[in-house]
A and B are shown apart, each in its own frame.
Chain A
Amino acid sequence: MIGSALLSVLHIVLELCLQCGVLLLLLPLMFWLEEDVPALLVGRAVAPLRERYRRFAAFWREILRTGLPLEDGLMLALGFLAVLCLAGLSLVRADVGSALGAWLADPLLMGGILLVGAFWAVPGRFRAVHGRCCFALCLTECFLVLAAPGVTGLQGVQRLLLAAPGSSLAGTSLCCAAALALTTSLPDFQVLADEMVSRGRPASRLARDQRQVIVSIHHVGWALLLGDLLLPVLFGLEGPAGVIGLVIRFGGGSLLVALGRLTGMSRNGRLVALLLGLAGLMALAGRFAV
């Protein structure tokens, strides 16, 4: 009895450690995909991928040696846990991954956590923009529940889509993902640098670098949220397929973000309202068609 309980606890810890390890390996690649590849496509020269890994390793070495200030540590913990929940991996034990995916990977909850990090990094600015983003998140949650009553988290969305492919749920979540990509209110690096300069007390180069990495983790989390809503079928696959699904979902999400930024459509209120209205329409249509 006690032995089996200990064994399951050991399995859960092993599973969580494996998930963290995979994420730590993938995160620099994600930074590179999200920040450097669009710059490369526009025609600018960027640092190679190797340097991203080296920089990330230096970040963790510094944390292990001296630790972070309280606020930065809180932001890092929130961002990393949000990425862990949104990744939807399950490597050894399936139930841990499905518990994370069903109980914590809720769009409103995770989006709210990422927005809190953004607000913490650049306080006092973009209050209206944050409000609009929160509103879009609330409507997303409402429409998902309308389209699929009793669904719990993104894992529930995936199971429902596998059971009934081509339902209106997919269209709803796609439209919500596009609307959320257009209302993104995470600060970009220029704003972050301005904020840290205007804070008065000049921060050291180390603090600036650390905060940049933390904000990049939040950006990755946001792109993952968008990708999860864009391709919910790929969420929470078991085994190594989950890692591939994670990378594909992340690619989709960052493509949405990059498209919104490149076409200048980000924060276009009418388009966002149009997409949200479309999502609501599809949710109601699916609801009443049953």
Chain B
Amino acid sequence: MSFHDPLMACLLALLIVLLLGDRSIRVFVSGLWRSVPLGVWRQGGCYMVGMVLAMLALGVASHAGAAACLVAVALVLLGGGTVFQPVWGIPALVGYALLPAGAGGLGVMATCFWAAGRAAGEHEVVRLVALILMLGLGHEMVIQQPLIWMVGGSVLAGVCLLAGLGEARLFLYRYCRLLRPVLLLGVMEVSRQQGMELGVEGAFFALLLDLACQCLAAIWPRSALLLLPAPPLPGFIVGWVGLHASLGLSSSTEGWTVMGCLLGVAIMGLSFGDGVRVLSQARFFLRDRQPKHWAGGLCLAAGLPSVCGVVAGWLVGHGTGWAGWLYRLPGGDGSVTALPLFWGGLFLFWAFASGRKRDDAHAALTSDETEGGELIRLQAYMQAQPVLPRSMKRLMMRGQRQVRTVRSVLLEGRSFLPVQELGAVFWLMFLGGVLVVMGLAQ
């Protein structure tokens, strides 16, 4: 059992949360003493058994063969029998059982990617379980070869994309959510190898926040909006901290300068791609006008990063500085954002700007009044005389005449120049400018 591993403990906790919160499992449990449709009840039972088997697989991750068998059975149960349609699924898992710490980890990754891609829109839970299995079982491989893990993940996602491209336009964005935790885990392990404590903490925090938001979105569809990459929301924090963790890698490690930048932009780009998908799926939740839902969701968005940060700091080993997470979130490279403080200011200001309770009759009356008033006379601030100083206009006309003269002279003079093409002149000037700036930079 590898419960001493913080990542494994977090993944198990998230699986337990999923098991407790999933709707079909609740239907299954209530079906034990009430009557529910048999098909739904059976499906809920399959899900429950599959998730329990997934937890067992994470628990016995040190015995790779048993874990591979459990993964196979769990994915078959969760996918309704469609997961092992491809013949390569079995050899991939056998490869994992033989070489769990080497390249065999790619086998379990390929299987889980396929299973997660097959899961249709409403089975968000299945995708998440596959993702958690992939992260948990591939962890040994990441510790040894993080670079192969990241490159392999990207290539596998590309292959899955090519395999299922024709289905829908949004299919493109489905893999963003799966690939981002893979890259974050890779960044975390690379920083651990290079001995950067800050980077490990930041990447682990981003990974934990990402998985927690995805779990919440699976349990409560309205909170999929938390994954939007819009700044004060957690989805943006995941991208921001991931970007800064990989930038920290690039700024303090030999040989990662350009790779780290590309990785950071890739993580942020995956967040944006995921945002497109969230917007197209959960758009109608935005039109919800109930203040209760708004307030609950915003409190969740404000509090979740701090909670995840405290947990991440505790698990990584900096448990003493937990109070710092309540007002600032460190990126992975020494930069800090004080988003919790920003949330506080936002709530204060928002309450000030829109907190007044208006009863509807009074509001209708005042709005009628303003509409009527608008017809009779303009608002006071719209009755001013426009200004245009004559002297200024005269000056401008003179300037325009000067410019025209200068331009005609220049056009005449251009015919004597050795270089006739404008493009060449532009490039020469540009090169000169670059050299000047580089000279300044010394």
Interface residues of A (CB under 8 A from B): 40-41, 43-48, 50-51, 54-55, 58, 63, 66-70, 72-74, 76-78, 80-81, 85, 99, 102-104, 106, 108-109, 112-113, 116, 119, 127, 131, 134-135, 138-139, 141-142, 145-146, 149-153, 156, 166-168, 171, 204-206, 209, 274, 278, 281-282, 284-287, 289
Chain B residues with Cβ under 8 A from A43's Cβ?
A: 388, 393, 396
Task: Choose one: A58, A76, A127, A156; the contact of B381 (CB below 8 Å).
Answer: A58
Q: Does B151 contact A (CB under 8 A)?
A: no
Q: How far is the CA of A204 from the CA of B368 in the complex (A)?
A: 10
Assess the B349–A80 pair: CB atoms within 8 A: yes
B373 nearest in chain A by CB position:
A205
Assess the A67–B354 pair: CB atoms within 8 A: yes
Contacts A204-B370, A278-B434 hold; do A51 and B342 have CB atoms under 8 A apart?
no
Q: Output the residue of B353, B367, B386 with the most chain A CB within 10 A.
A: B353
Task: Choose one: A70, A77, A78; the contact of B294 (CB below 8 Å).
Answer: A70
The 8 closest A-B pairs by CB, nearest first: A73-B354, A149-B251, A168-B441, A67-B356, A103-B338, A45-B386, A45-B388, A55-B381
Assess the A72–B438 pair: CB atoms within 8 A: no
CB of B282 to closest CB in A, whole Å? 13
Chain B residues with Cβ under 8 A from A127's Cβ?
A: 276
Q: How far is the CA of A153 from the CA of B240 in the complex (A)?
A: 13
Interface residues of B (CB under 8 A from A): 229-232, 236, 240, 243-244, 247, 250-252, 257, 261, 264-265, 268-269, 272, 276, 289, 291, 294, 328, 333-339, 341-342, 345-346, 349-350, 353-356, 358, 363, 366-367, 370-371, 374, 379-382, 384-388, 392-393, 396, 430, 434, 437-438, 440-442
Contacts A150-B251, A171-B441 hold; do A134 and B384 have CB atoms under 8 A apart?
no
Assess the A285–B438 pair: CB atoms within 8 A: yes
CB of B213 to closest CB in A, whole Å? 17
Q: How far is the CA of A58 from the CA of B438 in the complex (A)?
A: 51
Task: Choose one: A51, A63, A81, A285; the contact of B346 (CB below 8 Å).
Answer: A81
Contacts A151-B335, A282-B437 hold; do A58 and B380 have CB atoms under 8 A apart?
yes
Assess the A116–B230 pair: CB atoms within 8 A: yes
Assess the B396–A134 pair: CB atoms within 8 A: no
B267 nearest in chain A by CB position:
A138
Assess the A205–B264 pair: CB atoms within 8 A: no
Assess the A109–B337 pair: CB atoms within 8 A: yes
Assess the B356–A108 pair: CB atoms within 8 A: no
Task: Choose one: A47, A67, A76, A146; the contact of B257 (CB below 8 Å).
Answer: A146
Query: Can you give 14 contacting A-B residue pairs, CB < 8 Å?
Result: A47-B384, A47-B386, A58-B381, A67-B356, A119-B230, A134-B272, A135-B269, A146-B251, A171-B441, A204-B367, A274-B430, A282-B441, A289-B441, A289-B442
Task: Choose one: A58, A74, A153; the contact of B350 (CB below 8 Å).
Answer: A74
A62 nearest in chain B by CB position:
B370
Q: How far is the CA of A48 from the CA of B336 in the complex (A)?
A: 43
Contacts A139-B265, A149-B252, A150-B334 hold; do A46 and B370 have CB atoms under 8 A apart?
no
Assess the A204–B371 pair: CB atoms within 8 A: yes
Chain A residues with Cβ under 8 A from B345's Cβ?
A: 77, 81
Chain B residues with Cβ under 8 A from A47's Cβ?
A: 384, 386-387
Chain B residues with Cβ under 8 A from A274's Cβ?
A: 430
Q: How far is the CA of A282 from the CA of B371 in the complex (A)?
A: 57
Q: How far is the CA of A46 from the CA of B385 in the complex (A)?
A: 8
Assess the A113–B232 pair: CB atoms within 8 A: yes
CB of B344 to closest CB in A, whole Å? 10
CB of A84 to closest CB in B, whole Å? 8
Assess the B393–A103 pair: CB atoms within 8 A: no
Q: Output the residue of B231, B384, B438 with the most chain A CB within 10 A.
A: B231
Q: How far is the CA of A43 from the CA of B397 in the complex (A)?
A: 9
Chain B residues with Cβ under 8 A from A103's Cβ?
A: 328, 336-338, 341
